Amino acid sequence: MKRGIIVYRDVIKFFGAVIFCAAVTGGCVPAVPCSPCEEIRLYEWEICSDKRNDSGELSFKGDELYMYADVSGSKTSVKGRYFIDDKRITVFADGFDTLQFDYMLSGEKLLLSYFSKKLTFKKRMIVQN
């Protein structure tokens, strides 16, 4: 009888510990980004344009950047390793020399500048199932 009580008590402690751990880890949220360069990496971005046919995206996976843009019928894509500092995104792109995009992050929008050309992206809404 005493052995049954000890086993029962140990089982209750085990399930209590599992429930406690699940509750603690289930409430965790990602840390708020400390800088614009951290925030840029956290999201996927899509072209923000008044022109209906303009499209494009910007995403970061590991140490690779991928950008595609079709603006006013002019298409371009860039893929490569990248580095982001407080003012620019530097891309060591496949098939190109090193590219540097100046950026400005304002709320939900990201403005990229490359010489006189400018592209505006907005944070992509990601639908989770």
pLDDT digits (tens, 9 = 90+) for 84-116: 998 999 999 877 789 999 999 998 999 999 888
Q: Which helix (H) or strand (E) holds 39?
A: helix 36-42
Task: Please give the pLDDT value at position 51.
Answer: 80
Low-confidence ranges of the chain (pLDDT < 70): 1-34, 125-129
Q: Tell me if the domain spanning 36-123 has CATH number 2.40.128.280.
A: yes
First to last CA, the chain: 49
Pair 113, 100: CB distance under 8 Å: no
Task: Please give the pLDDT value at position 129.
Answer: 42
